[in-house]
Chain A
Amino acid sequence: MNTLFIGQKVIRLSEIDSTNNYAAQQVKENGVLDGLVIIADYQLAGKGQRSRSWESEKGKNLLCSIVLNPNFIDVSNQFILNKAIALAVLKAAEMICPGAFLRIKWPNDIYMEDKKLAGILIESTINGSQIGSLIVGIGMNVNQLKFEVGGRPAISISQELGNEIPVEAVLQIVCKSLEVEYLKLKAGKLNYIDEEYQQNLWKLNEWQRFEMNGKTEMLKILGVNKSGLLITESEEGRRAEWRNGELILASSL
């Protein structure tokens, strides 16, 4: 693989409960190998957001986990990792689908127009104020053409391009892109990442109807703060900060 460290070691599996779980087991047994990649054709228990599953046709999509060792980032600033990783996956998708309208849906889904292209689930271990290891799970729809009816709208790369593309090629681009953003973090270019993440936020500065606590309200997304909370403004000019799950875009219900 044409990278410095991410993907220099790749473990390929045909079937696994979840690549993140497998990666966690590897970390437990062999320590944190910075850049280790686990890739599987199929996940029996793919992890979405806590108990939400990730559905994928066998061999059609990119399902991988990448082990990182970001011990240079303080726990209090860990959301910057989320930003860098989301940006990396976004940029990989832009490279593969040039010209497509791609954005980061807070906190870290990758959307093409109004459809989900990729999801990210990050797991870390924390001891005191130190991040011990980071496992970055990435799921990207590559060659899947049919998605569950009634589920959230989704799209794949091949639907956009009109032809199939090898999953292995997508993996290489994702690893390369992640390495670039990760090295930026390591070089301390946090403001740069902050700004780029902000610029690529889905529905930034657009009025949208959101649902929260059983009521709906028109809000405009202004950005994301250091802790990862979404900052919105109401029509009366009231600012608010939201945690993940507190706010739902009404049109996606």
Chain B
Amino acid sequence: MDIREIQDLIKFVAKSGVSEVSLETDDFKLTVKTESNSKPKENIVYQVAAEPAPIVIPTVPAAPAPVSAAPAAPAPVAASNTVTIKSPMIGTFYRSSGPDKPLFVNVGDEVSPGKVICIIEAMKLFNEIECDVKGKIVKVLVDDATPVEYDQPLFLVEPA
């Protein structure tokens, strides 16, 4: 049974008004369920005999089943030989301890665990972020004094 046939079956079940259709062959067992009239949603449990893990595909009745998922938003991908240091919190990213103070780190600087690389201010709590790897800063990904989100990449470090 291919994806086309499964889609057709889903459409058929959605239109038919029945609440459940089960199909079983030597290779697989397929069940298409509609929850209720008030909740027009279906769960399809597709079980292949050899692989017991069920795959649940929620769909909307009558609408064509999505063939492929939307492409994920492009995220900055670190080269395989670098480590990404991410923000541990929501806040504002600062590269120095004050407006007229030197930067904690520059591109090309050697860093090691315990070295302060930036400050993230979160609601008047100033957090000095220490590096937890030994290596060299290859890229600073955020501008000074700009807001950052939780887990946002801040630096790329080439481990030593």
Residues of A within 8 A of B (CB): 49-51, 75-76, 78-79, 81-82, 106-108, 120-129, 132, 227-229, 243-245
Take A75-B88, A243-B90 as given contacts and tell me if A126 and B130 are in contact as well, using a CB distance cutoff of 8 Å. Answer: yes
Which of A120, A123, A243 is B92 in contact with, Cβ under 8 Å? A243
A169 to B73, CA, bound (A): 58
CA distance A34 to B12 in the complex (A): 69
Interface membership of chain B positions 7-22, coded 1 if the CB is closer than 8 angstroms to chain A and 0 otherwise:
0000000000000000
> Shortest distance in angstroms between B81's beta carbon and chain A's nearest beta carbon?
21
Q: Which residues of B line the A interface, CB within 8 A?
A: 88-92, 94, 98-99, 113-114, 116, 121-130, 132, 147, 150
Given A123-B128, A126-B127, A127-B130, A79 and B122 contact (CB-CB distance below 8 Å):
yes
The residue on B at minimum CB distance from A127 is B130
Contacts of A82 in B (CB 8 A): 123-125
- Whether B92 lies near A126 (C-beta < 8 A) is no
Cα–Cα distance between A122 and B121 once the two chains are bound (Å):
10
Nearest-neighbour CB distance to chain A for B96, whole angstroms, equals 11
B113 & A127 in contact (Cβ 8 Å cutoff)? yes
CA distance A132 to B90 in the complex (A): 18
Please name the residue on chain A nearest to B116 by beta carbon.
A125
A50, A106, A120, A228 — most chain B CB neighbours (10 Å): A50
B130 touches A124 (CB 8 A): no
18 inter-chain pairs at a CB distance below 8 angstroms, sorted by A residue, are A51-B98, A75-B89, A75-B127, A78-B127, A79-B122, A81-B125, A82-B123, A108-B124, A121-B126, A122-B124, A122-B126, A123-B128, A125-B127, A126-B128, A126-B129, A128-B132, A132-B130, A229-B123
Which of B98, B116, B125 has the most chain A CB atoms closer than 10 A to its own CB?
B125
Does B127 lie within 8 Å of A49, measured CB to CB? Answer: no
How far in angstroms is the closest Cβ of chain B from A52? 11
Instruction: Compute how far the CA of A79 lies from the CA of B89 in the bound complex, rounded to whole angstroms.
Output: 10
Given contacts A123-B128, A126-B130, A132-B130, contact A50 B121 (CB under 8 A): yes
Query: How far does the alpha carbon of A121 sit from the alpha carbon of B116 in the complex, in Å?
Result: 19
A244 touches B124 (CB 8 A): yes
